[in-house]
Amino acid sequence: MNSYPSEYLLHPVPIFAVYGLTPAHTDASSSPSLSQSDPPSQPSSSSPDNANERRPTPSSRSTLATTLASIFSNKQTFSVYEAARYSNQQNPLASSHVPPVRVLFVDKGFTLAEKPGPPAPNLPAPHSTLSPLSPDSVLHPDGLMTPVWVKKHLETPTVVIGFYDLWDWSQEPGSPPRARRETGPLSSQVLIDPTEREKDSVLAQEINERRKYFQAKGVKFAAVLILKRQQTDDPAVEERLSLLRKQSGLDNKLSFFTIAPGTQHDMQEFVNTLYRALYEPALMYYNNKVKKIRKKRNKLPPPSASSRTHLDTNEPQPLSIQGWMIRYELKTAIFQEFRQDIEAAVKTYEHAYTLISDMLAPSSSITPGQVGLAVRSKRWEEARTLIDCINIKIYRFRLFLNDPSGALAQVNGHLHVMQSYCANWGMGEQSFEYWAWLCKQYRIFADVVDSATQHGFKIPVPSTYRNQNALNMPGSPMLGSSGNVGNALMVGVNPGAILQHPGFYYHLAAMCCSERRRRFLEVDRKSDTPTAWDALLDRERQEDHSSITIELLTKSYEQFKKHRNQRMTLYLAAEIAGTYYETGKFEMALKFFERIGKTYRKENWHMVLTSILRWSLRCAKELQSWDRVVECLVELLANELPMPEQKRADSQKELMEVLNRPAISATGDSGGSGEPQTLAIQMDQINPFLQCQVQFKARNSFVDTAAHFQITVKSQPDSPPLPLRFTSMRILFSDAQYNLDIADAGLDESVAPLTEIIPCDEKKANLVFVKNQTKVFQGSITPRSCEDIKIVGVCFDIKTDDWQLSLDFNTDGTVPEELAMARRKWLEDASSLKYVFLDGRGEVNTVRVTRPPPRVQINVEHTAQALLDEHFALQVTVRNEEENAIDATLRVDVKDDNNQDTTDMLSFSANEPLSDRRETAIGQIEPAQTSTYTVVLCGSELAGTRTVTLTVCYKSANSEMIEKQHDLRIPFKSPFESNYKLFAQCEKFEDDTSPDLVRSERWTLMAGIRCCSPTDLEISRVDLDQTPFEHPHTTLSLIKKPQALETNQTWQPEHVYSGDYIFRLKTNDATEAQSPVPVGSVEVHWRRSGSEGPFFKTALRLPHLEFRRQNLVVIADAPKELYVGEPFTVKYTVYNPTVHLAEYTASVELSDAFVFAGLKLLKGRVLPLSRASYYYTCYPLAAGRVRLPRLKVIAKQQGLEKEVPTEMAADDDDNDDDGRREWPPLLTFVNARRYF
């Protein structure tokens, strides 16, 4: 991480070594030291010279080995958040996590590094090659620590896992598979295969030897046996595996495992189980290491100055007691990291940090009298690197432990300590070395905070800190220290004492890098003679300071953008642009300046925008982009941008100088010999020095009528500082035919008043503008057609031999708020500044041109309400108020309540027949003359309100067609309402009881017609219009109808007319399906009372008739005239009109008015379409309307029993019956006795 040794900053995890998954030729080789290799990609064939090393077929064994190797090597590096996730017991999901393990693939003959023995029996064992006490060590004699020691333990496994194959006969070439050995009660009678026993014994011996070797070294060993797929189902394999485990001395749960080919998920679960089982022994290994180092640490004497002898010599001195303490503390912390004991590691690192910080100090406070390390010596460089890396470890762990204050205190404290040391080392704030180091510290801290936030760390929200701890916390050297804590109740927050998001520290790093470059350039300019600093300067010259600064600013920009701090992102973008400018990348700088300038311009940050424009101007000049130069200079003339008047005048002079010389491009080409360069500047997108307003005097106008407008152009109080002359002015309309071009009149600059009205029809005007001046350009247009005419822009042109500059004001855009709220006004007199207020507010740049309103009057006369079917007259009068004669046409449109066209008929004369024609020619109407037409409208079908639209289309000489409409809403009401009642009767049957297909019914239709007209109606006649009906079997005949009206009648409103119609409905085939029979309609001929016009006909439709449902029925037939004391015969006929046989039982219900002779109880059946008749002789006893004895019939048909209704039969001449006569009761009238 930024030139620090990766071994110091890498977060370590337990190391597992795996062998047995690599190809056979690799396994056969033996190596005395650890060898790390990539997982195999292509398995090779097994070696034929060693039977124990034979493998199963490559299709199964090699695939399994490749899959396992891929899973083992899936993740090799871990962050502290990922590594500590498993050991976090407070996490309820900890059991589902996989322990962090780094796997090394080694050879099968892998051995650990052996510690060298003593050269002679009486001599002590030599020290490690990495110990300061060893003459061959890189740390001899006074080195503290080397990354090689960390790398050594990063490659030393704590657990070794060996993969072996369980021997099978199929592995022998040319050998057939052996039969499956029996197990169970008879297994003792079958001998175990001696070959299998021999192979298993050899394998157990090999595993046992490896176990003893690694166990002696304190390393956990585990064996995994790879089974073939067919071996998983063999019960004898379990016995072999049990024997192997016992002979090899391995624990069944923690050291001895088996695996067979399976899915990817199965392989992953096996590896996870392996990790969980062996993780605790791995942690125990590092725990033992920590205990061993603690023992050595406790044996050290207390540090003192006497620990170093011969301090006045130039020879290297051995490592001091304090150095050994540092060394032991570092080893302890690293092993605690391996164990993922982060809290203990932080404390140990902090102790080591204190010791190293004291060692780097000019004078030690722990070892009195000891002098610090020699500046720029090798050990001094190593100590500086080591203390920086320890500092990174501490605040990284503090963030992991959710202690942001502690992490920031560590960073700021480290920076303050090193800042104080750097002053004594000769590399203080005046040297580029210090700023390079400080840049590196802030950058690494930002990376660490960014990594923490990606793993779920929450940046604390800054708040008011009142506690003493917060006040005593050291601040950032770049932000100043918060050392003044005299007022404990001080309210406020020092940004250096509050943890910010990573963008804040990336920005600090970028500032340090910029300062580093500045300090380097100062030193580089002064170093004319060779010095001892040349090598350091040469290395610094190789650094691309600007690229580093831009990279840091870009990272800071992304972080501030992520945290939605818009203001800071704009500032950082400006810093990036400034860095690009310093490095000569003017194009990139200009792009950044233009991008951020839009925001500052939109939000009216004029002070900042002025600086941005000046930087943009410098970049454009360097690029020789003269169009951009002109744009910047034009905006710098705006009064809103704060600057001295002289600078604004210089900008205007520079603008005119650029416009009066050829535009030279970046390639050196000149535009002087070609066409002038054209440039259009949109003034509404920048801060303009002129203000342009547009007003039409009226919002609406008519064709061939002048529409007046004023364009007010104002200069600002301080701009332009010098008189500015425009070559021409253009007024642009939405329709190009109305565009106006106004040329400069060439008048003296001192002639123009401060306020003047300039008529546009003169085509020339004084286009010289001075500051605080108002020019009102007044003109008009005469439109020839209906349209919306808009002033879309006003352009002021400056033309030279080499340039054509156009300042474009877009008047069709958004109006500024202050102008949108102002009252519209019209300048009447420039000398007295007399304004006339217009309607509305803001600007009106659009005039709507329409036709003049039609000058034709339409008057309509008619009665209040119309009736359906009558000829309703409308008297339409058209009056011409135009100045010329017109040729007119009348069109009538009729719509109902749903705005749909109707089928109503009409005519344009009382004598003209009705038709569907809707238009007629009125002809020529002279001025001030009228023309009258009668429109007859006949409403039909549905009642309701009709919307009648009368449209008069006319044109005069040399004019277009003009329309005038007049709408009427006329309610149409039906003159009559009808109500109908229907009654059916069965007719008398003949005495024949045989089946008969003929069926006849008599229907009585009672019609009631009510007059609904609001006025009296004269009725001439009421007729029945019977609809013709043709059917092969069914007929409908009229038996009786009401008498015709002898004279005309007058029906008043609510008058009711009643009439009875009797019909006979008859069919020759009762089995045929019968459809409804149409009857027709009742036609009423009427007109309004007192009218002499024709009678109108209204048809009232009658309901259809159809045979009743075919059910069993009893028909009673009795004489019409009955007398007391005179007997008579009653005939009861049981009629079955259905196609099913009917069985029935009958009984006679007695009546007090009669005595009878006949069967009182009977039982019978009636065939389909047949009848059964019963006769009873009755003797009347009393006069009056009495009840006849009734034959009550209970019929059973299709399994259902029900009572059969009884009806009275009708005679042909019985036309006075008022309806259907059904039981109960059957009533008849008995006259008094005729004879005494």
User: If you write DSSP's letter for every residue of 1069-1117 in order, what string do you get?
Assistant: -TTSPPPPB--EEEEEEEEETT--S--EEEEEEPPPB-PPP---EEEEE
Compare 796 and 675 and report the one with higher pLDDT.
796
Closest by CA position to 443, among listed 353, 496, 507, 499: 507
- Average pLDDT of 718-732? 93
Residue 490 in domain: no
Q: Do 242 and 268 lie in a common domain?
A: yes
Residue 950 in domain: yes
Distance (Å, whole) CA 1027 – CA 1043: 20
At 793, which amino acid appears?
Answer: G
* Predicted local confidence at residue 54, as pLDDT: 40
Measured CA angle at 733 (ends 727, 738), to 5 deg: 85
Residue 1175 in domain: yes
Q: What single-letter DSSP state applies at residue 797?
A: E
- Average pLDDT of 677-702? 92
Question: What per-residue string of b and e applies to 421-448 under the rule 16 or more CB within 10 Å gives b?
Answer: bbeebebeeebbbbbbbbbbbbbbbbbb
Domain boundary among 850, 877, 900: 850
* Predicted local confidence at residue 583, as pLDDT: 86
Whether residue 990 has pLDDT greater than 80: no
105-137 confidence digits (pLDDT tens): 999 999 998 877 676 677 676 778 888 888 888
Tell me what percent of the chain is helix, strand and coil, each rounded to the nearest 5: 30, 30, 40
At 1040, which amino acid appears?
Answer: K
| Count of C-beta atoms within a 10 Å radius of residue 1211 | 12
Domain boundary among 284, 311, 330: 284
Q: Do 687 and 815 lie in a common domain?
A: yes
Residue 750 in domain: yes
Q: Do 1010 and 931 lie in a common domain?
A: no
Distance (Å, whole) CA 641 – CA 120: 90
1125-1135 confidence digits (pLDDT tens): 999 999 999 98
Q: Do 982 and 1090 lie in a common domain?
A: yes
Bridging pattern class, strands 1080-1088 and 1190-1197: unpaired
Q: Do 1029 and 923 lie in a common domain?
A: no
How many helices (H) and strands (E) are present in the chain, helices listed first?
Answer: 23, 50
Question: What per-residue string of b and e applies to 804-842 under the rule 16 or more CB within 10 Å gives b?
Answer: bbbbbbbbeeebeeeeeeeebebbeebeeeeeeebeeeb
Distance (Å, whole) CA 946 – CA 871: 14
Question: DSSP alpha helices (H): ranges in 563-697?
Answer: 566-582, 586-602, 606-623, 626-636, 645-659
Whether residue 49 has pLDDT greater than 60: no
Distance (Å, whole) CA 1142 – CA 1030: 33
**730-734, 1104-1108, 1210-1214 — which is least confidently predicted?**
1210-1214
**88-97, 528-537, 1164-1173 — which is least confidently predicted?**
88-97
Q: Do 699 and 784 lie in a common domain?
A: yes
Peptide bond into 1225 cis (omega under 30): yes
Domain count, the chain: 5
| Count of C-beta atoms within a 10 Å radius of residue 689 | 26
Compare 1025 and 992 and report the one with higher pLDDT.
1025
Write the CATH number for 14. Answer: 3.40.50.2300
912-965 confidence digits (pLDDT tens): 888 888 888 888 888 888 988 888 888 887 888 888 898 988 887 767 788 888
- Work out the mean pLDDT of the chain and round it to a whole number: 84
Residue 431 in domain: no
Q: What single-letter DSSP state applies at residue 306?
A: G
**224-233, 325-334, 692-701, 1004-1013 — which is least confidently predicted?**
224-233
At 679, which amino acid appears?
Answer: L
Distance (Å, whole) CA 1146 – CA 1161: 6
Residue 1014 has, within 13 A of its CA and on its CB side, a CA count of 9
Whether residue 480 has pLDDT greater than 60: no
Distance (Å, whole) CA 352 – CA 355: 5
Bridging pattern class, strands 728-733 and 787-799: antiparallel
* Predicted local confidence at residue 177, as pLDDT: 56
- Average pLDDT of 227-253? 85
Compare 171 and 416 and report the one with higher pLDDT.
416
* Predicted local confidence at residue 172, as pLDDT: 66
**458-472, 547-561, 706-720, 766-780 — which is least confidently predicted?**
458-472
- Average pLDDT of 1155-1176? 91
Write the CATH number for 1166. Answer: 2.60.40.10
Whether residue 393 has pLDDT greater than 90: yes
Distance (Å, whole) CA 385 – CA 711: 73
Whether residue 1001 has pLDDT greater than 70: yes
Whether residue 746 has pLDDT greater than 60: yes
Q: Do 1178 and 1052 lie in a common domain?
A: no
Distance (Å, whole) CA 349 – CA 352: 5
Closest by CA position to 932, among listed 863, 879, 873, 871: 879
Residue 735 in domain: yes
| 3-class SS of residue 453 | helix
- Could you tell me which residues come within 8 angstroms of residue 973 by beta carbon, excluding any fewer than 6 positions away? 865, 866, 867, 868, 943, 1012, 1013, 1014
* Predicted local confidence at residue 178, as pLDDT: 59
580-603 confidence digits (pLDDT tens): 898 889 999 999 999 989 988 888
- Asked if 444 contacts 1 with a C-beta cutoff of 8 angstroms, the reply is yes
**383-397, 1020-1034, 1212-1226 — which is least confidently predicted?**
1212-1226
326 alpha carbon, distance to own chain's centre: 58
- Asked if 750 contacts 677 with a C-beta cutoff of 8 angstroms, the reply is no
Domain boundary among 1075, 1101, 1127: 1101
Residue 42 in domain: no
* Predicted local confidence at residue 182, as pLDDT: 53
| 3-class SS of residue 947 | strand
Write the CATH number for 1025. Answer: 2.60.40
* Predicted local confidence at residue 747, as pLDDT: 81
Whether residue 481 has pLDDT greater than 70: no
Which secondary structure element, helix H or strand E, spans residue 247, and what is its range?
helix 235-248
Residue with tokens 């008859």: 1066
Distance (Å, whole) CA 351 – CA 671: 73
Residues of the domain holding 775: 680-850
User: Which residues face 779 on adjacent strands?
Assistant: 709
Q: Do 921 and 782 lie in a common domain?
A: no
Whether residue 407 has pLDDT greater than 80: yes
- Asked if 165 contacts 205 with a C-beta cutoff of 8 angstroms, the reply is no
Angle separating helix axes 586-602 and 606-623, nearest 10 degrees = 160
Q: Do 1076 and 1132 lie in a common domain?
A: no
Torsion of CA 483, 487, 489, 491, to 10 degrees: -60
Compare 855 and 507 and report the one with higher pLDDT.
507
Q: Do 782 and 695 lie in a common domain?
A: yes
Bridging pattern class, strands 15-19 and 159-165: parallel
Distance (Å, whole) CA 539 – CA 813: 58
φ, ψ of residue 367 in degrees (nearest 5): -110, 90
Compare 42 and 82 and report the one with higher pLDDT.
82
* Predicted local confidence at residue 626, as pLDDT: 92
Whether residue 28 has pLDDT greater than 60: no
> How confident is residue 149, by pLDDT bands cut at 50, 70 and 90?
very high
Q: Which percentage of the chain shows pLDDT scores above 70?
A: 86
* Predicted local confidence at residue 409, as pLDDT: 94
| Count of C-beta atoms within a 10 Å radius of residue 909 | 11
871-895 confidence digits (pLDDT tens): 888 888 999 888 788 888 998 999 8
Q: Which percentage of the chain shows pLDDT scores above 90?
A: 42
> How confident is residue 669, by pLDDT bands cut at 50, 70 and 90?
low
- Asked if 244 contacts 224 with a C-beta cutoff of 8 angstroms, the reply is no
> How confident is residue 530, by pLDDT bands cut at 50, 70 and 90?
low
Q: Do 871 and 903 lie in a common domain?
A: yes
The pair of three-digit structure tokens given for residue 368, joined into one six-digit string: 């009195």
Q: Do 866 and 910 lie in a common domain?
A: yes
Residue 140 in domain: no
